[in-house]
Structure 1
């Protein structure tokens, strides 16, 4: 495919315009031309990337590949509705939440906010989720990852690539940042700075991430992770706490408490930092910590399975399709809280505890699903 771009504007003859022409010999400032050779016709591909500095012709070239308007991730949002209502409003709920999680916007409270109050990173991922739900046959996205933190950009590019390749459609992304190339792993790249075209087999592999897991104090959760946890619950009794680091950055958290009356442990408070969501860090971290306990390294050295409860639809789907987990139950809502409190009060009286019991479990309307870890995880690097 040969893409020819010719732009022309008025040739101004003001004093300053004439002076600029005389000083810099810029007689043709009204004309701009660009020719790009893109050998993509007749080839099977899904993701293309046009990269280069500002003013090098990315938008002009991209807009001519499919002859479709540039897709704007940031326009068309209703400021009076949460984003969960704005994305595919007539579509399937699970599909929408699945796309939000798949592109890395798994922070559930963010789903309940209007687009205009989200952070730049959240807006970017929400736009990608909407695009993935709409799934046009051809799309061109300008300024891809240009306005967000570079760490979010790289992980977000990897998450979007993984999501887009699950379906059909061709997309061309335009960006001025080269650091996303190896994370995005596009089928082809055109560099406007060098007028150079190269395909996926010329790219370096996506960087490997090393997750180091440490046992930490319980005070780490409220200080670093609580704001990203969508439930407001007290810390579990007698729990041990684990944090996963990539480099020097804490990226995920999990607490594990003994449940010896059921011959098991119970894991809870799973949190993955927003900038690391969408590339599978959370599920691998959860499995590693559960394997650690299954091998007898947890409290009291007992070799017991680990239970995990969640209402997050995409996490439920991931665990349900994993050979390392078995689903043990599901409930559309919590049990009777008053009955739970009464049972706890009777147990306290039998043990001679006279304090009044003012709490109980249940009483919520979350569709909670229960899973038990039974698989084997190869990599253990948990440091006390």
Structure 2
């Protein structure tokens, strides 16, 4: 444990208006305004992974964080205007490391990875900053105004995605979130919280909020909402059966299946999670729950083939899926795909195929 002693000084301008206001409101004029903060904080020698400094505006949270962490406290990162997002990370980092980190924090769209930072949504920019911070040098990163620029749904799910990645030991770096928003505490699950408004330091052991994903059969009219976020293209086979997953009544995940040339043999041809909800396992849950349902309805074989790292990682981890084959250069065009060359296939890229072999698991 350490005690942070931070002193804020501000010189007073000697002007006619300042003296007039001082007389009107009985403000004592001195050479400097001063405010001192003395608070306890866990040190780097203590056992913790995630911390949070929370408080109302003007409570001194940024001042204390700056005194404790210095240059390791960052508000946002500087990104080059015309540079692809993946090129904004350190040159010593591999593309694999960068994309794995982006997926871990919930920025799972390869389309977004290839766009400049300025072209991304505010929520995607927030996750990109988090990813870059977690890949920065040093053993600790502190984010000032954590989640302040995003809507509260994105804030909650972005915090949960980050916490899940930390729990899976995808990051060894320590994280301190500095924020005025208390709604993310239960989702980020910090090991300690310094409340600057109350002047209290507490250690916490929180339970992760339960997410209820309700899955419904839907029409193709749902697809345009999800199409821009699919990593291949926005096309949907006319014969596809469509399903939508709702969180708190709002669409979050989309899946589509096709008959795989034999009765009761199905393949999952589309699986898309909206950016707000990425990184918290909803795509994997949708895949498992839908496959269990389809099996109960008579499906005797369900396959999924893909190259997206999140899908491959889920199927590799889950006991519900068994690995079938890896095609390093994808499948050759045949049948209806040869007749429709505008439809994208896996030709030219590595694709892993998995077969459903189990029951659903909780996220």
Give the TM-score, by structure 2 length: 0.91
Contact 1:320 1:327 in 2 (8 A): yes
Cα distance in 2 between the residues matched to 1:9 and 1:253? 54
Aligned ranges for residues 197-212 of structure 1 at < 5 Å? 197-201=201-205, 203=206, 205-212=207-214
Aligned partner of 2:47 in structure 1 is: 44
The structure-2 alpha-carbon separation of the partners of 1:86 and 1:197, relative to structure 1 and needing over 3 Å to count, comes to same
Cα distance in 2 between the residues matched to 1:265 and 1:60? 57
Match of 1:175 among 168, 175, 179: 179
Q: Which moved more, 1:358-367 or 1:136-145?
A: 358-367
Aligned partner of 1:184 in structure 2 is: 188
Residue 283, structure 1, aligned to residue 287, structure 2: no
- Partner of 1:80, secondary structure, is coil
Match of 1:375 among 350, 353, 358: 358
CA deviation digits over 1:176-215, x for unaligned, max 9? Answer: 11111111100111111111111113x5x33211111111
Aligned partner of 1:382 in structure 2 is: none
The structure-2 alpha-carbon separation of the partners of 1:274 and 1:344, relative to structure 1 and needing over 3 Å to count, comes to closer
Contact 1:135 1:168 in 2 (8 A): no
Cα distance in 2 between the residues matched to 1:378 and 1:10? 60
Contact 2:285 2:361 in 1 (8 A): no
- Partner of 1:212, secondary structure, is strand
The structure-2 alpha-carbon separation of the partners of 1:45 and 1:362, relative to structure 1 and needing over 3 Å to count, comes to closer
CA deviation digits over 1:141-188, x for unaligned, max 9? Answer: 101000111100111111112224523232221101111111110011
Shift of 1:260: 4.5
Aligned partner of 1:7 in structure 2 is: 8
Aligned partner of 1:221 in structure 2 is: 223
Aligned ranges for residues 1-384 of structure 1 at < 5 Å? 1-27=2-28, 30-41=32-43, 42-75=45-78, 77-134=79-136, 136-165=138-167, 166=169, 167-201=171-205, 203=206, 205-222=207-224, 224-232=225-233, 234-261=235-262, 264-295=265-296, 297=297, 302-337=298-333, 340-341=334-335, 357=339, 359=341, 362=345, 364-377=347-360
- Partner of 2:131, secondary structure, is helix
Q: Where in structure 1 are there 5+ consecutive unaligned residues?
A: 346-356, 380-384
The RMSD of aligned alpha carbons is 2.3
Q: Where in structure 2 are there 5+ consecutive unaligned residues?
A: none
Shift of 1:362: 4.7
Contact 1:68 1:139 in 2 (8 A): no
Cα distance in 2 between the residues matched to 1:129 and 1:344? 37
The structure-2 alpha-carbon separation of the partners of 1:363 and 1:2, relative to structure 1 and needing over 3 Å to count, comes to closer
Contact 1:6 1:31 in 2 (8 A): no
Cα distance in 1 between the residues matched to 2:164 and 2:285? 17
Q: After TM superposition, where is structure 1 displaced by more than 6 Å over at least 4 residues in a row?
A: none
The structure-2 alpha-carbon separation of the partners of 1:73 and 1:160, relative to structure 1 and needing over 3 Å to count, comes to farther
Aligned partner of 1:353 in structure 2 is: none
Cα distance in 1 between the residues matched to 2:180 and 2:147? 9
Q: Which moved more, 1:4-13 or 1:264-273?
A: 4-13
Give the TM-score, by structure 1 length: 0.86
Aligned length: 356
The structure-2 alpha-carbon separation of the partners of 1:193 and 1:362, relative to structure 1 and needing over 3 Å to count, comes to closer
